[in-house]
């Protein structure tokens, strides 16, 4: 039994300690906004925040996150940087199929929180772990800058 | 359902609970595929539902996979209906070929960049018909001439008196009006929506985690399964270790099919662990020893035999014989995986006498048909719920993953969601086929082509996927882009050799035929320019006298890209031009850098696009941008290889795709005109590989005729 603090709410789950957080969120807690893309920390679709830091939930054992503040896409709009990023995504029409975008937004929100005025190199470093198969990269870059400016 | 207008095939009636329901069937067909389609019935093809509360619902038969369908389709309806997009709610349509058949395929399919092209007229006519009936209802109520009324933002207004009635108040009466035989469509200069960068309707739910993809389905009592199919096509399960898997907490059931094994569990983690613990042993079957080299040998041999003639202008053999010089080349394009971000998945609940399916598919009616076939149930007992697609790119034009999920579900009590791991996806995709092309040109003393022969060899996707479209030995998709060659060459012969290599399943992949043909044609034109010691743009320009639209996009792209301006050492610019059955013209200039170790870095891509009438310029630009990135991934990294019958790649570490830090700046310039709309989902991908290969040639002097553009072919140190 683990107790998790997800988006400010406590959840208990009867799951093995080595179970990745991704599957606890999606299949046990029922928060499906966090996506499965590779299961191997290669694509970033499963990105969530752990005490404000972006992590790949597909390789994060649930035992390692007990007691920490977990934030998912469903609640990122409650943070200042998350709200700005979501709005910038809408303003610049970043999204295509949308499947990668939960992860993109989580990575971008963390980037903006730590780098209020990110350079291109900061954006490369902060976002290179998030694959978008629809190819929305140039709009993501522009939207992060837009969010930083507004 | 009420009366039918014979001319327009529109059908109108009262909606449940009052209100107006309007459907239509699409009667327009592309000549190429028309013969393949079944004759249309008097059945509606898409619906507008106007409730007495004024709510306008649009039920869209085309699926949303990122290409903006749930915005551009409603824009066409809303433009003529005179409602704002903000007043519209979009609903997924259920599967029904008669109701929602794609006019260009003859059944319900979203793909091939056909949606706007095929539905531009029909959807506008449907909107205009509903508007005409609503105006007629208002005019009757007010006893005035309908011509003295106008429609605006979901209401009818009598201009002289200022009387106004909302669509909701008129909907029930409108349903009683005769369906007009002719409706006046708006003039392009009066468009309020078409041609504007209207905001996408699907975006808000995709930035806050609420959008529901197939993989997000959750049902009471649902189990989760993951699956391993035979790693070699044609192989069978030989043995497994059930006990170890069942000992894992959360594992509920092992489902053993002849060619695959699934572990059904409480959650994906248990299912994955259970599958690993099974340590499945396989009987690899007849393909056990095949490798990519065997496939290429087969294609090479087939390329020695003449093919079916797909285009013939003049006498190419005679012109070739009389040429000052003959230039020849062989081009190859590898197997490619789609790797949609949302891995294949499908949720199924089989019960006695019924089957329910939840998935994202580009071919809903085929989902329904395969579920009926596997379960032995009649079609009407199969219910399919469509979802947003986490990428399509042609992958979801196949129903292999649905068939498999239904087979598994027939052994499971209650609903089961079958989710493929990324490894399963990369190794069991329906791949873009391997292509092998022999191309030659005869040039005159000045280096201009006077003869052109192109023999392309590969499997026929259409012969399997849409057999009636495979006629006289020609796969019109496989030769697309090769037969439309825009250059003025007096003698042209394009041949197609169908050669099946059943070692991997193969299918559509974002612009499949065109994507490979444009790589060959545009690389080879570049070779001819280089042999003639001419600038690649000037060389093409001189051959475009008969194609003003192609020439215009070329001029626009080279101007915007600063063609001819100096670049640092190691850098080069390449150009490519595209025209095909999509009816869209694209020119691209790529600016690349090749490092001494042979790595290609793409700095900048400039595209000029003429796709005729533009419904939403921002969506067009997004599709070109995304298509370019997809094309770069394919051209630089894309390659699926076989060893001992097994796919050697497995995940994004060894099936690489482009990332943010590698992505170039992309500029898209649109030519605006009122020509018929062309497709835009695939051209950006198709034009990219040749532009990159030509840029690599400009940078290094190395001509790469076999994709991908790998460092070992380009290393200089
Ligand atoms: S699913 Fe976690 S990084 Fe891809
Ligand atoms: S928007 Fe489709 S994968 Fe990124």
Residues of B in contact with A74 (CB under 8 A): 208-210
Q: Which of B14-28, B290-304, B342-356 has the lowest mean pLDDT?
A: B14-28
Closest chain A CA to residue B216: A32
Which positions ≥6 away from B39 have C-beta within 8 Å? Answer: none
Chain-chain contact of A37 with B266 (C-beta, under 8 angstroms): no
Chain-chain contact of B392 with A31 (C-beta, under 8 angstroms): no
For residue range B113-163, list pLDDT tens digits in order: 778 888 888 889 888 988 999 999 999 999 999 999 999 999 999 999 999
Q: What is the mean pLDDT of chain B?
A: 91
- Of B203, B659, B660, which is closest to A95 when you measure between CB atoms? B203
For residue range B506-528, list pLDDT tens digits in order: 999 998 899 999 999 999 999 99
Q: Which CATH architecture has domain B293-335+431-714?
A: 2-Layer Sandwich (3.30)
Query: Is the previous residue joined to B435 through a cis bond, with omega within 30 degrees of 0?
Result: no
Q: Does B425 contact A at CB distance below 8 Å?
A: no
Domain B214-284+344-419 has CATH 3.40.50.720: no
Q: How far is the CA of B390 from the centre of ligand 2 (A)?
A: 7
Here the tokens at position B599 are: 């790595």
Q: How far is the CA of B59 from the centre of ligand 2 (A)?
A: 24
Which positions ≥6 away from B602 have C-beta within 8 Å? Answer: B590, B591, B592, B632, B636, B662, B663, B664, B692
Which positions ≥6 away from B451 have C-beta within 8 Å? Answer: B316, B317, B319, B320, B323, B440, B441, B442, B489, B490, B491, B492
Find the helix or strand (DSSP H, E) in which B90 lies: strand B88-92
For residue range B33-82, list pLDDT tens digits in order: 333 333 222 222 357 888 888 888 888 888 888 888 889 989 999 999 99
Q: Which of A39-43, B20-24, B389-393, B442-446 has the lowest mean pLDDT?
A: B20-24
Q: What number is the average pLDDT over the span A67-92?
A: 98
- Of B204, B625, B661, which is closest to A124 when you measure between CB atoms? B661
* Residue ranges of chain B assigned to CATH 3.30.365.10: 6-206, 214-284+344-419, 293-335+431-714
The pLDDT value given to residue B45: 39
Q: How far is the CA of A135 from the centre of ligand 2 (A)?
A: 7
> Is pLDDT of B166 > 50?
yes
Q: Which of residues 24-63 of A touch B (CB under 8 A)?
A: 24, 26-28, 30-40, 42-43, 45
Q: Does B67 contact A at CB distance below 8 Å?
A: yes
Q: Whose atoms come closest to the Cα of B625: which ligand?
A: 2
Chain-chain contact of B215 with A124 (C-beta, under 8 angstroms): no
Same fold, A2-71 and A76-147: no
- Ligand 2 nearest-atom number relative to CA B390: 2
Fold classification of A2-71 is: Ubiquitin-like (UB roll) (3.10.20)
Whole-angstrom distance, CA of residue B133 vs CA of residue B157? 14
Q: What number is the average pLDDT over the span B401-422?
A: 98
Q: Specify whether the CB–CB gap between B121 and B28 falls below 8 A.
A: yes
| Residues present in chain A in total | 150
For B13, phi then psi, to 5°, come to -175, -175
Q: Specify whether the CB–CB gap between B138 and B20 falls below 8 A.
A: no
Give the CA count within 13 Å in the CB-facing half-sphere of B444. 8
- Of B388, B652, B666, which is closest to A43 when you measure between CB atoms? B652
> Is pLDDT of B9 > 60?
no
The pLDDT value given to residue B126: 85
Q: Does B353 contact A at CB distance below 8 Å?
A: no
Q: How far is the CA of A54 from the centre of ligand 2 (A)?
A: 19
Domain A76-147 has CATH 3.90.25.10: no
Q: What number is the average pLDDT over the span B487-503?
A: 95
Q: Does B204 contact A at CB distance below 8 Å?
A: yes
Give residue B93's pLDDT band: very low, low, confident or very high (50, 70, 90): confident
- First-to-last C-alpha distance (Å) of chain B: 73
Query: How far B220 CA sits from the closest chain A CA (Å)?
Result: 12
Residues of B in contact with A96 (CB under 8 A): 66-68, 622, 626
Mutational pocket test of ligand 1: of A103, A127, A128, A131, the residue with most ligand atoms within 8 Å of the beta carbon? A103
Q: Specify whether the CB–CB gap between B548 and B513 falls below 8 A.
A: no
Chain-chain contact of B391 with A15 (C-beta, under 8 angstroms): no
Here the tokens at position A150 are: 């507004």
Secondary structure, 3-state, B641-662: CEECCEECCCCCCCCCCCCHHH
Query: How far A83 CA sits from the closest chain B CA (Å)?
Result: 10
Tell me the torsion sign for CA atoms B237, B240, B242, B246: negative
Total Cβ atoms within 10 A of residue B702: 15
Q: Does B65 contact A at CB distance below 8 Å?
A: yes
Q: What number is the average pLDDT over the span B439-445?
A: 98
Query: How far B216 CA sits from the closest chain A CA (Å)?
Result: 6
Whole-angstrom distance, CA of residue B479 vs CA of residue A124? 39
Here the tokens at position B447 are: 């280096």
- Report ipTM for this prediction: 0.98
CATH number of B6-206: 3.30.365.10
């Amino acid at each position: 039994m683990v107790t998790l603090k997800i988006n400010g709410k406590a959840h208990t789950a009867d799951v093995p300690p080595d179970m990745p957080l991704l599957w606890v969120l999606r299949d046990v807690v029922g928060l499906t906004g966090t996506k499965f893309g590779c299961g191997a920390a290669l694509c970033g679709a499963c990105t969530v925040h752990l005490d404000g830091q972006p992590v790949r939930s597909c390789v994060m054992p649930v035992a390692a996150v007990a007691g920490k503040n977990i934030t998912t896409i469903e609640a990122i709009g409650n943070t200042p940087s998350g709200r700005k990023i979501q709005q910038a995504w809408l303003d610049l029409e970043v999204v295509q199929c949308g499947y990668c975008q939960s992860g993109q937004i989580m990575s971008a929100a963390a980037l903006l929180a730590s780098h209020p005025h990110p350079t291109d190199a900061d954006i490369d470093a902060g976002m290179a772990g998030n694959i978008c198969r629809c190819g929305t990269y140039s709009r993501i870059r522009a939207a992060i800058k837009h969010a930083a400016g507004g | 359902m009420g009366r039918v207008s014979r001319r327009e095939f529109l059908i109108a009636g009262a909606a449940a609970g009052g209100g107006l329901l309007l459907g239509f069937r699409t009667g327009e067909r592309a000549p190429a595929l028309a013969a393949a389609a079944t004759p249309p019935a008097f059945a509606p093809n898409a619906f507008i539902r106007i409730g007495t509360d004024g709510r306008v619902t649009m039920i869209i038969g085309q699926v949303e996979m990122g290409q903006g369908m749930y915005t551009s389709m409603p824009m066409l309806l809303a433009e003529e209906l005179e409602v704002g997009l903000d007043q519209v709610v979009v609903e997924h349509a259920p599967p029904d070929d008669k109701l929602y058949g794609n006019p260009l395929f003859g059944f319900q399919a979203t793909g091939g960049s056909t949606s706007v092209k095929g539905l531009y007229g029909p959807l506008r006519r449907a909107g205009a018909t509903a508007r005409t009936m609503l105006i007629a209802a208002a005019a009757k109520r007010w006893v005035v001439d309908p011509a003295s009324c106008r429609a605006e933002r979901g209401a009818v207004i009598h201009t002289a008196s200022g009387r106004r009635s909302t669509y909701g108040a008129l909907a029930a009466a409108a349903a009683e009006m005769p369906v007009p035989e002719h409706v006046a469509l708006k003039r392009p200069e009066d468009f309020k929506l078409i041609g504007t960068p209207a905001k996408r309707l699907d975006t808000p739910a995709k930035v806050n985690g609420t959008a529901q993809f197939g993989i997000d389905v959750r049902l009471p009592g649902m189990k989760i399964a993951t699956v391993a199919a035979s790693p070699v096509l044609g192989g069978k399960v030989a043995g497994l270790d059930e006990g170890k898997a069942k000992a894992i907490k959360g594992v509920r059931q092992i489902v053993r099919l002849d060619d695959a094994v699934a572990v059904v569990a409480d959650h994906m983690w248990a299912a994955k662990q259970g599958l690993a613990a099974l340590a499945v042993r396989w009987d690899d079957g007849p393909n056990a020893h095949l490798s990519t080299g065997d496939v290429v040998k087969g294609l090479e041999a087939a390329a020695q035999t003449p093919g079916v003639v797909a285009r013939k202008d003049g006498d190419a053999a005679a012109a070739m014989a009389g040429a000052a010089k003959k230039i020849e080349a062989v081009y190859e394009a590898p197997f490619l995986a789609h790797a949609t971000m949302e891995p294949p998945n499908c949720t199924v609940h089989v019960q006695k006498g019924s089957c329910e399916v939840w998935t994202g598919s580009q071919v809903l009616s085929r989902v329904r048909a395969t579920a009926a076939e596997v379960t032995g149930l009649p079609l009407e007992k199969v219910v399919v719920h469509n979802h947003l697609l986490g990428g399509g790119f042609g992958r979801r034009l196949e129903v292999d993953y649905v068939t498999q999920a239904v087979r598994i579900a027939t052994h499971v009590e209650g609903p089961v969601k079958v989710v493929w791991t990324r490894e399963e996806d990369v190794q069991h995709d329906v791949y873009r086929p391997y292509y092998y092309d022999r191309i030659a040109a005869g040039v005159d003393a000045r280096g201009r082509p006077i003869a052109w022969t192109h023999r392309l060899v590969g499997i026929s996707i259409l012969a399997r996927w849409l057999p009636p479209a495979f006629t006289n030995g020609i796969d019109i998709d496989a030769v697309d882009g090769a037969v439309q060659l825009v250059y003025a060459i007096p003698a042209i012969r394009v041949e197609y050799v169908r050669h099946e290599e059943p070692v991997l399943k193969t299918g559509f992949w974002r612009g499949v035929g065109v994507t490979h043909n444009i790589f060959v044609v545009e690389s080879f034109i570049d070779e001819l320019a280089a042999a003639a010691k001419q600038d690649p743009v000037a060389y093409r320009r001189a051959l475009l006298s008969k194609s003003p639209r192609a020439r215009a996009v070329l001029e626009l792209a080279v101007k915007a890209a600063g063609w001819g301006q100096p670049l640092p050492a190691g850098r080069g610019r390449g150009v490519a031009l595209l025209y095909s059955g999509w009816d869209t013209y694209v020119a691209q200039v790529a600016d690349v850098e090749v490092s001494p170790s042979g790595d290609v870095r793409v700095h900048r891509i400039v595209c000029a696009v003429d796709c005729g009438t533009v419904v939403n310029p921002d969506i067009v630009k997004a599709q070109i941008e995304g298509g370019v990135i997809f094309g770069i991934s394919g051209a630089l990294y894309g390659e699926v290889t076989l060893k001992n019958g097994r796919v050697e790649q497995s995940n994004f570490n060894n099936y690489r795709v482009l990332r943010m830090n590698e992505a170039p700046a992309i500029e898209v310039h649109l030519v605006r005109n009122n020509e018929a709309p062309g497709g835009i989902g695939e051209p950006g991908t198709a034009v990219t590989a040749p532009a990159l290969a030509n840029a690599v040639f400009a940078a290094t002097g190395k001509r790469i005729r076999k994709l991908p553009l790998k460092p070992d072919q380009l290393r200089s140190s």
